[in-house]
Structure 1
């Protein structure tokens, strides 16, 4: 009988990867994990290719039990993580024995947590990705009682006497806002192609906070606040728009496009969220506030390269530790950079 990960409480969880790259020319959104950085790190900590399928758990509690010994990693927003009732750390590999219950609860600060398993899962693919696409009706949203096929097991990795953790791999953990004294998320953006059409009102984007609407989803986040106003009077033609486009429709909300966005739109684009800003934006939930911070293209590229370098350095540390402990890992391959 095949080894499985048995879902006890699904909450709002899906099987994700980094997305469907190179298909925008055919009108397909890229989709994929909304917090790309946390998803990459979870897989790297398990010795997987960073684009391997993993679980994206949104807002609600989740629990599961493996039918075999496995190695897992949990990243993303701060949460209460336990294995058979014992508190365990996020952002480190964890050895879980067959039949033990992994429970993730109390997700806070952000809204998304990522669970990766050494060897990943058996899951359907469409156009080179397992990422859900609501328009095509494709994807795997988990339900209580689901069983996910596991591709590999891993004998327990711990000290036989002292039961101390063997992993301290210093994963690059992003900064999350404090929960006791709520603070806004800071999201970095560069200038958009229609910046000049907003005149002096463009500065409103950086001078106030914006609150995320409950109507937000993986396609885009609606935000209320002191919205900049377009002063140009010409018509905006429909054209291709990037993930992260900060659009200004008529009305009192901004629309910030995310990974499920359609590839064309007809609203003016005031700014574009940077690659690192997009991962942070993937953790922002309804009712939370956002402040936008202006960055030059050079600064945005440097920040992205720094984050990717940190993940690559972690990948090297993981490979060294796994080789020493004879833990199997997946061969590395080149993964497209998020658009």
Structure 2
């Protein structure tokens, strides 16, 4: 019988990965984890490939129980992680014995938590990804009582190093708070907003409850388009900051359709998108202008942090004879 995780309290959770890359040319949204950085780090800490399936837990409390010993890592928004009621560290590998209950409660400041299991979990795939797609009706949204098969059960680990508080792999933890600063580059239609375009980088915006994985809606001192020509539908990137008619900004996220007909004032950077994936309704957003070169440098710096973390994980796991999946 396969080893499993039994979901005791699903809340709002799903099996997720990094998305359906390279399919936009066929009209499919990329989808995938909205906080890509936290998802990648969770998998690296668990000894998995960065793109392996893991659990994305949104806003509400979650609980599950493994049928065998497992090693997990929990990242993302601040929350309380306990194993059989005992607090355990986040952003670090944690060993859980068979039958012990894992709980993630009190998610705050951000909105999404990622739970990776060493060896990953089984999930159906469509076009190379298990990422849920609401348009296609595909994906695994979890419910109470669901059982997730663990792909590669972990041999029992009793090494004392896991009980030493000073032993840490030191993953870089993003800053979480009630206000977010999101990096963005100028978009292709900036000139159509005249002098009001700079409002995007001078004003504060508030995330509204209408936001979801398709896009975040924000209210504030919105720039006004001065051009009067019709905007034709065309391809738009993830992160496009659109200005529909009215008093809202719309920032497209990973579930966005691949075409749209609103002017694109700016484009959120790759690192900014992960932060934006944690923004809660009611929180404040400020945009910070970045050049394309600065955006690329920030992404490369983040990649370097993840690669350095992977090296540390591999060193420790090799010493403890824990298998590690190589990322490509």
> TM-score, normalised to structure 1's length?
0.95
Q: 1:318 aligns with which of 298, 302, 313?
A: 313
Structure-2 separation of matches of 1:49 and 1:207: 40
Aligned match of 1:248:
243
**Which residues in structure 2 correspond to 1:4-43 (within 5 Å)?**
4-43=4-43
Kindly tell me: are residues 135 and 314 of structure 1, through their superposed partners in 2, closer, same or farther at Cα, counting changes over 3 Å?
same
Please give the secondary structure, in 2, of the residue aligned with 1:121.
coil
Question: What is the CA RMSD across the aligned residues, in angstroms?
Answer: 1.3
Task: Report the Cα offset of residue 325 of structure 1.
Answer: 0.5
**Which residues in structure 2 correspond to 1:99-138 (within 5 Å)?**
99-138=99-138
Aligned match of 2:183:
188
Structure-2 separation of matches of 1:198 and 1:157: 60
Q: Report Cα offsets for 1:25-63 as digits up to 9, x if no partner.
A: 100000000000000000000110000000000000000
Kindly tell me: are residues 161 and 195 of structure 1, through their superposed partners in 2, closer, same or farther at Cα, counting changes over 3 Å?
closer
The answer to whether the 8 Å contact 1:244/1:274 transfers is yes
Aligned match of 1:78:
78
Task: Report the Cα offset of residue 208 of structure 1.
Answer: 1.4
Task: Report the Cα offset of residue 156 of structure 1.
Answer: 4.1
Aligned match of 1:234:
229
Structure 1: segments with no counterpart, 5+ residues: 334-339
Aligned match of 1:259:
254
1:303 aligns with 2:311: no
Structure-1 separation of matches of 2:162 and 2:202: 54
Residue-pair matches, total: 328
Task: Report the Cα offset of residue 332 of structure 1.
Answer: 2.3
Structure-2 separation of matches of 1:168 and 1:124: 34
1:140 aligns with 2:140: yes
- After TM superposition, the runs of 4+ consecutive aligned structure 1 residues lying more than 4 A away are 158-162
Task: Report the Cα offset of residue 331 of structure 1.
Answer: 2.6
Structure-1 separation of matches of 2:209 and 2:30: 23
Structure-1 separation of matches of 2:162 and 2:152: 27
Task: Report the Cα offset of residue 166 of structure 1.
Answer: 7.7
The answer to whether the 8 Å contact 2:94/2:162 transfers is no
The answer to whether the 8 Å contact 2:159/2:320 transfers is no
Structure-2 separation of matches of 1:270 and 1:112: 27
Aligned match of 1:336:
none
Q: Report Cα offsets for 1:224-247 as digits up to 9, x if no partner.
A: 000000001111010000000000
Aligned match of 2:59:
59
Kindly tell me: are residues 167 and 133 of structure 1, through their superposed partners in 2, closer, same or farther at Cα, counting changes over 3 Å?
farther
The answer to whether the 8 Å contact 1:20/1:129 transfers is yes
Q: Report Cα offsets for 1:149-190 as digits up to 9, x if no partner.
A: 00122234345599435841111111111xxxx4x1000000
Structure 2: segments with no counterpart, 5+ residues: none
> TM-score, normalised to structure 2's length?
0.98
Please give the secondary structure, in 1, of the residue aligned with 2:81.
strand
